[in-house]
Amino acid sequence: MKLPRRLTMMGGVALAAGAAMPARAQLTIDMTRPSFEPVPIAIVDFKGDSVGAQMAGVIRNDLQNSGLFRVIPQGSYIQQNVDATSPPQFPSWRQIGAAGLVVGQVVQSGGNIKVDFRLWDVVVGQQATGLSFTSQPSNWRRLAHIIADAIYKRVTGEEGYFDTRVAYVSESGPGNNRTKRIAIMDQDGANNRYITDGRTIALTPRFSPTLQEIVYMAYGENNTPPRVYLQNVDSGRRELLGNFPGMSFAPRFSPDGTKVVMSISADGNSDLYEMDVRGRQLRRLTNTPAIDTSPCFSNDGSQIVFNSDRGGAQQLYVMSSGGGGERRISFGEGRYATPVWSPRGDFIAFTKISSGGFGIGVMRPDGSGERMLASGFLVEGPTWAPNGRVIMFFRGQPSGGGRAGAVTLHQVDITGRFERQVPTPTDASDPAWSPLIPQ
């Protein structure tokens, strides 16, 4: 059954009167600065329909979990029963230190719900932005994510990432007999469901950049050679993308979704190949005695980053998307793996293995500015939020006595200042972040 994920926006998404006020320092944050303080913000339960309090709760969690906002506890609010359609008592909100105030209301409208919200700039006493939506009642959680995105954009100047999904590998069972299946959830851990049934091992989910589809690798019965499937997230429709017995890493899409790039092993070598998604033609991109793997397109599709041991140790290289012009970009101590180009094009995230430990780091596409954001016993598998300002990855703990070590998903912002664990019902690894969900 198709899930009611796509919104029906009656009359489109309308900006409320007074929206798009000029940016002011008190209600803005510059994430490029070496130090900043989270923006203090108050979020009142939305009036009207009973779902209003739940929506406000989702908005609070989204903003607080970003690390860029400090949500003021409701118990400290001085003004009660705030009217969602009139200016608030600004002195009461300044007194508790709020820079911003979020109010809203939810009303029934012909079998749908109509949601209005406003973000007030408390310091200057003016409305900063506002939106109005009409949609099915079942979409209330998604509407809350969209409102949180609007607040995030108004305060940071960056696109939000809350109205997104994450695919990952759900892991359960003992260490010597793990069940691994593909799961998908909202970015905050809600609405978790499974794409595969666990009868065979499924790995390495990756999202299409243009549609809500994922590509993943699944072994056949009795661990026969893996196949790669393309599956629509909403409809569940699945098609076979191809059989690649020697594939060492799942395909990643080009930015326009028409091609995938992957590593295939043959005759002792691992080289990079490009495949047209619809025509299924394969084209070889590298041809060396080295192990070339983990390819990923740049945000504009003109280049590919990958890791290779062609220089004697596993390092990162960038080449033309058509093959050729390879140049090494990593020069630090240790080994580099799983590079992923930011959707903004300004950074490449990677896994680094050195001194017996793992880490998640970023560097610029020319190799400059390398810095680490997270480290641990087993830390790997970075994936970017669509705004290029947050990375998700997984952490693993040591195993023993036939017991598998715990594996959990985590988020970290681009500054490395704020890390949080993402809740999942089982152990979880190898996350893949979706693009923003089409409205």
Beta strands in 122-258 (DSSP E): 126-135, 165-172, 179-186, 193-194, 202-207, 213-218, 227-232, 238-243, 247-253
The mean pLDDT value for 35-42 works out to 90
- Residue 304 has a pLDDT of 98
Structure token pair of residue 74: 């409701």
CA-nearest of 37, 60, 56 to 48 is 56
* 401 pLDDT tier (thresholds 50, 70, 90): low
**Spatial separation of the C-alpha atoms in residues 360 and 380, rounded to whole Å:** 6
**pLDDT tens by residue, 362-397:** 999 999 999 999 999 999 999 999 999 999 999 998
Q: Is the dihedral of CA 141, 147, 152, 153 positive or negative?
A: positive
| Section 425-436 average pLDDT | 95
Return the SS3 of 223: helix
Q: Which residues, 6+ apart, have CB-to-CB distance to 300 below 8 Å?
A: 255, 345
- With 60 as the cut, is the pLDDT of residue 6 above it? no
As a whole number, the mean pLDDT across the chain is 88
pLDDT band at 402 (very low <50, low <70, confident <90, very high): low
Q: What is the pLDDT of residue 168?
A: 97
CATH homologous superfamily, domain 165-433:
TolB, C-terminal domain (2.120.10.30)
Tokens representing 7 are: 């919104």
Instruction: Name the superfamily (CATH) of residues 14-156.
Output: TolB, N-terminal domain (3.40.50.10070)
pLDDT per position as a tens digit, 281-323:
889 999 999 999 999 999 999 999 999 999 899 999 999 999 9
Q: Which residues contact 305 (CB under 8 A, 6 or more apart)?
A: 295, 296, 298, 316, 317, 318, 329, 339, 340, 341, 348, 365
Q: Can you tell me the mean pLDDT for 388-408?
A: 86
Domain ranges of the chain: 14-156, 165-433
- pTM (two decimals): 0.90
Instruction: List Cα–Cα distances, 317 to 188, 255, 294, 350, in angstroms.
Output: 33, 19, 11, 12
Give the SS3 label for residue 63.
Answer: helix
Q: What pLDDT does 2 receive?
A: 32
Query: For the purposes of burial, counting CB atoms within 10 Å of the CB of 91, is it exposed (0-12), middle (13-18) or buried (19 or more)?
Result: exposed
Taking the C-alpha atoms of residue 378 and residue 393, their distance in angstroms, rounded to an integer, is 10
Report the alpha-carbon distance of residue 266 to residue 286 in Å, rounded. 12
Q: 371 forms bridges with which residues in the sheet?
A: 362
